[in-house]
Amino acid sequence: MLQITGGFLKGRKVQPVPDPRTRYTSSMVRQALFSMVDVTDKSFLELFCGSAVVSLEAISRGARKAVAVDVSKLATKVARQNAEKLGVQLTVLCVDYRRFLEKNSESFDVAFIDPPYELGFVNEAVRLLSEKKVAETIVVEKSKREKIIVPTELEVLKERSYGDSDLVILRRRPV
């Protein structure tokens, strides 16, 4: 079981996705993320959501709206069950992130991506988020072994390492 680390849901349990291919964002990384990025009264997008623990944590910490996206039917089923069990409003969409970004017309204050490690999704997702101007702040959780290519429209605000994971916070450059 995963546990919400802060906010009004602190201590509540979240079911992980029962699939060995699904890697969850650790409580240490979630705490670090939300200590660096304030989501109070902001809209939050999570791509590659898995159990949606990061979106649920964002809601717990004051996000006014959250959307969680994953291509896995099992993951989105678990994400919906988690939101229902916690009694919170979370939009969960079962769609490939590329298709979502292609069709999406909504903008978000914060986008969080945590794709499977070392499969080439990081740079494609960052590029698409940047091109589509989906979010002001983009937070990337990636493998330490992956290099991130930062589009010219974005700048790196912070970069931290936690075990095998790097957390990179990008922001749209002022025009």
Q: The domain that contains 122 carries what CATH number?
A: 3.40.50.150
Residue 23 confidence (pLDDT) above 90: no
Q: What are the distances in angstroms from CA 115 to CA 9, 25, 96, 154, 173?
A: 25, 11, 11, 19, 24
Find the domain containing 84 and state its range.
2-18+25-172
Tokens 């699939």 -> residue: 19
- Contact between 62 and 151 (Cβ < 8 Å): no
State phi, psi for 107 to the nearest 5 degrees: -110, 155
Map tokens 């959250």 to a residue.
66
* Confidence label for 22 from pLDDT (cuts 50, 70 and 90): confident
| Cα–Cα distance measured from residue 112 to residue 30, given in angstroms and rounded to the nearest whole number | 11
Element containing residue 39 per DSSP (H, E): none
Question: Once rounded to an integer, what is the mean pLDDT over residues 36-54?
Answer: 97
Q: Mean pLDDT score of the chain, rounded to an integer? A: 95
Distance of CA 83 to the CA centre of its chain: 15
pLDDT in tens, 114-127: 999 989 899 999 99
| Count of domains forming the chain | 1
Angle at 23 between CA 21 and CA 27, to 5 degrees: 165
| Predicted structure pTM score | 0.95
